[in-house]
Amino acid sequence: MSEAPALSSVLATAAKLACSDIYDPITPNVFSKIYRVGETVCGIVLVAGTLYVVNQGTENMAGWKEDFTVEPIFHPVLGNIHSGFDKNLPALVALLMRDIPAGMSVVVCGHSKGAGEGALLAARLNLAGINVIQAILFACPNAGHQQFADWMQATIPGLSFRNAPKYVPCFGDPVPMVPEYPSVPPYPHNMINVVPAGMSRLLNIEWHLAEYYLNGVQT
């Protein structure tokens, strides 16, 4: 990776939190607080003066249901956004607003469903006046239409990673490619190439595992 040292440190922290620590069983003594709103799970932790807000990926059938609830809803600033990912976020934002100190620098991150929710959460926190300095997304599904992507890229610095074969990028992790157009990625994809072991490399969904994203940004 070619990021500056400060960004490399933030990226490594975000990857560990989003791709390992937030998944069940949630790593003990990492997060200062865990929020549960419906099937949405979110943790916060202060690291080197920056507050990381971390959304959990899909862990149960309720989460899968919201993954596939792709009908858009219209937001007056963000345009058409993924209704399943957004469903619990207004209530979550209200809870977070009680605990995030004024002026605190915030990084929002997540893997898979957690990334899709994380993109929208970063936007909603920004609109609520929170200083979101970065969104770092791993295997992020398309959480909105072009207006949302344009707003994110103009407003919140972000990185979005997709794991795919180096010479066959049309294969690999399918999750960052759905829902299909008119839904689009919130940020252009940064490609990583962490190959599943054995014959499982022939199944594109195997490229989606959180551990591969954790390994991919640490190399």
Place of tokens 């202060």: 46
Mean pLDDT on 193-203: 85
C-alpha distance from residue 119 to each of 48, 64, 107, 134, 212 (Å) = 22, 18, 11, 10, 20
pLDDT at 36 over 50: yes
pLDDT at 204 over 80: yes
CATH topology of domain 5-162+175-189+210-218: Rossmann fold (3.40.50)
Chain centroid offset of residue 104 CA: 20
Sheet containing strand 50-55, edge to edge, reads 33-37, 40-47, 50-55, 105-111, 131-138, 158-163, 189-192
Inform me whether the pLDDT recorded for 63 exceeds 80: no
> How much is the pLDDT for 54?
98
pLDDT of residue 68: 53
Alpha helices in 83-171 (DSSP H): 83-86, 89-99, 113-127, 146-155
Evaluate if residue 3 carries a pLDDT over 50.
Answer: no
- In the chain, % of residues over pLDDT 90: 81
Say if CB 18 and CB 108 are below 8 A apart. Answer: no
pLDDT tens-digit profile of 76-100?
Answer: 999 999 999 999 999 999 999 999 9
Amino acid 219: pLDDT: 65
The per-residue pLDDT for 107 is: 98
Nearest to 95 by CA among 26, 35, 31: 35
Q: Where are the domains of the chain?
A: 5-162+175-189+210-218
CA gap 49, 8 in Å, rounded: 16
Question: Could you tell me how far CA 162 lies from the centroid of its own chain?
Answer: 12
Calculate mean pLDDT across residues 39-54.
Answer: 97
